Amino acid sequence: MDLIALIEDSTDDDSEIKSYSDTGDGNQNIDQTTNGEHNASSKIRRKRTDKVSHEGRAKVIRRGLIDVVSSSKARDSRVFSRSIPHRRGHWAGHVKIPILMASSPSENDDLEPLRKTKTRNVAALQNFLERRGISGTMIEHDNLHLSLSKHFSLQIANIEPFARRLGELLQNEPSTSLHVETMVEPCHESNLVHGEFVGEIIDDIVLLNEEKTRSFFCWRVRPNVTLLRIVAHVDAILKRYNQPVYYQPAHFHISFASFAGNIIESLNKTKGEYVHSRLDVDSERYFQSPSNNVVGASIIGSKNERGVGDDDDDDDDSEQTVYILPVHHVECTLGTTKEYIIPLRTCHPF
């Protein structure tokens, strides 16, 4: 069994001992006190020192074990549980933009860098959670998509009218591009091994389902005008059928992996024992617009850019890749058999 020793920081305890040693009755040095006072003080100091020695000892913790399973294999097992109860005569629906489909890898050759990034991000998360003593099954998502609606439910008689109206509203919306901000990666392998970067940004990449029964590890997608208009159209139709609308404010994201339960809550329980506090960590910088690498996929060529405000420090130990993905259609699925492809208007260059 792999065991990890972590040394707790005892700086605060040491400072308290120093403060006590420098302070005595009448601001006299402890050596100038009476023998009785000296003995009493020594006992107190010795007791305090023993406490520090106990707290400063290495804590040996049991490393967790995370199994990574692809979503296609997980659906054939009992890893997933239904969070929305089935209602007879109702079909579960979802409006989304497909990103990466495992069923047709030959069509996604241009997205191979994105697939490799997903694999690296999952490995980094697996290592981070194991080192924090977390065990369980992580699902690596084979098919990636950008949700444009929450999950909803329609009666079978309303499916065709819903899909028809959705097509009417979206057909005049132009094609667009997604700027996908993947998880920050350390430049040095040693940082990846220790999982420090994952620990600093974990709060920013995890989203919970409404029941808080599953944690989703996500990449952020930068909002744009077209995406916001499409969501507004979808929301308008869903309201007519008394269905839930999208998140307010809109939070565009692509989920690339998931884990059962509330992973943030689990990590917070062990934070004091296993994770050293990190001072002056500005996790927001990992998801700000200026990024080191911008990678174009599909019809957009690759390029490297530095955004305004990027540090020119060559010693920066992290980098983030932004993928630009073209979008030409929206997909609406209902149940497991009904799928509607809604093309967006093609934008011709002047």
Lowest mean pLDDT among 11-25, 40-54, 184-198: 11-25
Tens digits of per-residue pLDDT, 168-212? 999 999 999 999 999 766 544 444 444 455 656 677 789 998 888
For residue 284, pLDDT beyond 70: no
For residue 91, pLDDT beyond 90: yes
Mean pLDDT of 220-228: 96
Return the top range by mean pLDDT from 63-72, 101-110, 251-260: 251-260
Element (H, E) at 71: helix 71-74
Tens digits of per-residue pLDDT, 243-256? 999 998 999 999 99
More confident site: 311 or 171: 171
- How many residues are listed for the chain in this entry? 350
For residue 20, pLDDT beyond 90: no
CA distance 187 to 185: 6
CATH for 90-101+112-264+320-349 is: 3.90.1140.10
Per-residue pLDDT at 311: 43
Per-residue pLDDT at 225: 97
More confident site: 84 or 300: 84
Tell me the C-alpha to C-alpha distance, in Å, between residue 57 and each of 2, 60, 151, 253, 264. 19, 9, 50, 42, 27
CA distance 282 to 207: 19
CB 221 within 8 A of CB 322: no
For residue 234, pLDDT beyond 90: yes
- Residue 232 makes CB contacts below 8 A (sequence gap 6+) with none
